[in-house]
Amino acid sequence: MDILPSAVDALVVGGGPAGLSAASWLGRHRRRTLVVDAGQPRNRFADEVHGVLGHEGIDPAELLARGRRELDTYPHVDVCAGTVVGLTSTAAGFDVEIEGSGTVTASRLVLATGVRDELPDIEGFLDHYGSSVFHCPSCDGYAARDHTVAVLGWGEHVPAFAVGLLDWAATVRVVTGAEDPDITPEQRRRLAERGIEVVDGEVAALEGQDGQLSAVRLADGSEVHATMAFFSIAHHPVVGLAVGLGCDLAPDGRLSVDGQRRTTVEGVYAAGDVTPGAQLVSVAAAEGTLAGVACATSLHGRRTAAEVPAPAPDPEALAPEHVPDAG
């Protein structure tokens, strides 16, 4: 869109599965909605999306493009390419500063800002990422069936991560990539019992052609045979804007929400990978649905944007304790 609205009922930060799903349900409730999308989805390197009913193997960019096209069904929903750089609470709701585009006032916010994965700084990594190198066993473990898999990582969580891949892989090897990998002798013993070798050494490069991995090359020149790799270093929830508003964090560093995806700040909802739980496309879309519906119905009985139909009255006014006694 060329001109941003000055005020909306709801502003959605993030145009991934969670954000687009929330926006679609806000649209179905005929609420004036703006989605601000920075265009950096977490799965942008992947070739395919898995486990989404009716869309198995779809290209992630195509899935999002379909979602945006579906929003065209709702005349009160717009999508803006941009980055939200500031959120401020006001008497009217929230002022949302969009880099290079100005400020929009929103009665409600839906934060679908996701997480950022820490990627290994390894030669050839991006040549294979999304084709034969992955970060999510739940998403892509099925593709690893009967493969020789290398696990790249060095934290104390890596052994459990590696063992989980035995659901699919024929062979799993852990390549620590660090002088002090934080894998204890007891963990190494238990990995060995499960047939998982631990290779200590700095990873120099990923070898292969056309995205198909063939080996992990170490700094000393030796190679670890692998036809697929998974990495587990760190991922960082994008919570800076939410924390600035005063939203509480869960113990894992993601945004604390209730069953309706409400954060601890009135009028602010959150959905997708930025909240606790499974980090899957289908789950993110479902959470976006919950957030969108809850956000829309929270506007019952309130003044909303001038160019949209008025929302329903506040149903609380018709609760039994509020209905006058006819006698």
Same domain, 251 and 106: yes
- Residues 265-284: what's their mean pLDDT? 97
Q: 35 and 111: one domain?
A: yes
Token pair belonging to 141:
């473990």
Domain span including residue 216: 120-232
pLDDT at 324: 56
Residues 19/272, Cβ–Cβ less than 8 Å: yes
- Of 101, 87, 92, 94, nearest to 4 by C-alpha is 101
Are residues 51 and 188 both part of a single domain? Answer: no
Question: Is residue 272 situated within a structural domain?
Answer: yes
Of 207, 232, 257, which residue sits at a domain end? 232
Residue 103 lies in a domain: yes
Q: Which of 187, 215, 232 is the last residue of a domain?
A: 232
pLDDT (average), residues 19-39: 97
Claim to verify: residue 80 and residue 106 sit in the same structural domain: yes
Report the CATH number that the domain containing residue 67 is assigned in CATH.
3.50.50.60
Taking the model in full, what pTM does it have? Answer: 0.92
CB atoms within 10 A of CB 299: 22
Does residue 327 fall inside a structural domain? Answer: no
On whether residue 326 sits in a domain, the answer given is no
Q: Are 108 and 46 part of one and the same domain?
A: yes
Q: For the chain, how many structural domains are there in total?
A: 2
pLDDT at 284 over 70: yes
Please give the full DSSP string across 279-318, using - where no structure is assigned.
--HHHHHHHHHHHHHHHHHTTTTS---TTSPPPPP-GGGG
User: Which of 36-40, 45-49, 66-70, 261-265 is the least confident region?
Assistant: 45-49
Verify that 196 and 110 share a domain, yes or no: no
Which of the listed residues 205, 232, 259 is the one where a domain comes to its end? 232
If you search the block for the tokens 């739940």, which residue do you land on? 138
Asked, for residue 2, whether it belongs to a domain, the answer is no
Q: What is the structure's pLDDT at 233?
A: 83
